[in-house]
Amino acid sequence: MRILVTGGAGYIGSHIVKALGEKNYDVLVIDNLSKGHEKAVIFGKLIVIDLNNKQKLKEIFNQFKPDAVMHFAASIEVGESVVDPMKYYQNNTVNTLNLIKTMVEYKIDKFIFSSTAAIYGNPTKIPITENHPIRPINPYGKSKAFIEEVLEDLDKSYGLKYISLRYFNAAGADPEGRIGESHNPETHLIPLILKTAKGERKSIKIFGTDYPTPDGTCIRDYIHVDDLANAHLLALEYLLNNGKSEVFNCGYGHGYSIREVIDTAKKVTGKNFNVEEADRRKGDPAVLVADNTKLKKKLGWSPKFDDLEFIIKTAWNWELNKKF
């Protein structure tokens, strides 16, 4: 089976490419390398293109003839999306429309979409189920929520089958240390904590200590990136077996506060680094935890790495031995 993977040189995409390669899928990665890394693509072939290049996109569909498309290429920072919304509507909305328009033209009808918990906005109920209202509170979440609506229409009119996977907080690295998280600039909690433990940063700031949570800091559902990759493989197999369109939350169903993540990182690294209490970051909901019942029941997903210590260990190993 031939699988076209956009953004396969990025953090999450590269872990799915690894999972696909290990299952002997024929993988073609397309990535503009604006954030991704050539070395992160450890299976298949990489073509460097931007999704706004419609002509080149058509050539790729013409030559590769994918059976399914998995779409990771996107801008992902909530804060940046508030400062520069056009970047998000161009990269995440317009470019995704280019991609799915090409799919429709070439009659490719299986699509896996990287969606996000950010489409729910401030949750009214925890854990969050897939039928929670879609009320994104920032352009990043809106840019993804709009595509979910478009996909619904394309299914009705053209029979495009899609799985939209709504990620909670992807974390950790390949347990064998081949690939991992390497953002520039880094904004995510766990890699920033580990850079502090390593001595690259003076301290880790906790953004807000007055949230309505037991220790006052935000709670997130951190999911190991390989468990997330496995959810993609199951979603792909489901579509290849002619499953119908679905949306799934991807998380473990329980969360950790920022203080708990910091304490676990101190234990794993053996370093007692500096922690500062800072103001809240704009747009952060207090708690984001997935209800993953649907993913488990419908796709038979069963997580292997639901262990914060293990997640941080793999990320620490990567931080110390980064290859890109």
Determine whether 158 is an active site residue: no
Residue type, 143: S
CB of 263 to ligand UFG, least distance (A): 14
41, 78, 147, 299: residue in contact with ligand UFG (rule CB under 6 A)? 78
Q: How distant, in Å, are the alpha carbons of 107, 235, 270, 312, 321 from that of 175?
A: 38, 22, 19, 11, 12
Beta bridge partners of 152: none
128, 197, 206, 229: residue in contact with ligand UFG (rule CB under 6 A)? 206
- The one catalytic residue among 140, 162, 211, 222: 140
The interface with ligand UFG within residues 170-189 (CB under 6 A) comprises: 187-189
Residue type, 103: M
Q: How distant, in Å, are the alpha carbons of 181, 214, 257, 267 from that of 260?
A: 21, 11, 5, 11
Residue 111 within binding range of ligand UFG, rule CB under 6 A: no
Residue type, 283: G
The interface with ligand UFG within residues 272-291 (CB under 6 A) comprises: 281, 284, 288
Q: Which residues fall within 8 angstroms of residue 83, CB to CB, at 6 or more apart?
A: none
Residue 89 within binding range of ligand UFG, rule CB under 6 A: no
Q: Which of 309, 283, 240 is nearest to 81 (CA)?
A: 283
12, 76, 229, 268: residue in contact with ligand UFG (rule CB under 6 A)? 76
**Stretch in the footprint of ligand UFG (CB under 6 A) among 29-37, 111-119, 230-238, 267-275:** 111-119
Q: How many residues bind ligand UFG (CB under 6 A)?
A: 21
Please, what sign has the CA dihedral across residues 320, 255, 121, 207? negative
Task: Identify which of residues 163 and 192 has a Cβ nearer to ligand UFG in the complex.
Answer: 192
- Which string of x and - marks every residue 151-170 that binds ligand UFG (by CB under 6 A)? -----------------xx-
- Cα atoms in the Cβ-side hemisphere of radius 13 Å centred on 230: 16
Residue 70 within binding range of ligand UFG, rule CB under 6 A: no
Residue type, 60: I
How does strand 274-278 pair with strand 256-257?
unpaired
Residue positions counted in the chain: 324
Task: Identify which of residues 5 and 258 has a Cβ nearer to ligand UFG in the complex.
Answer: 258
Please tell me the distance from the alpha carbon of residue 270 to that of residue 261, in angstroms, as a whole number: 14
Task: Identify which of residues 204 and 231 has a Cβ nearer to ligand UFG in the complex.
Answer: 204
207, 296, 306, 307: residue in contact with ligand UFG (rule CB under 6 A)? 207
- Kindly list the residues in this chain that would bind ligand UFG in the complex (CB under 6 A): 76, 78, 116-118, 168-169, 187-189, 192, 204-207, 218, 220, 258, 281, 284, 288
- Residues serving a catalytic function are 140
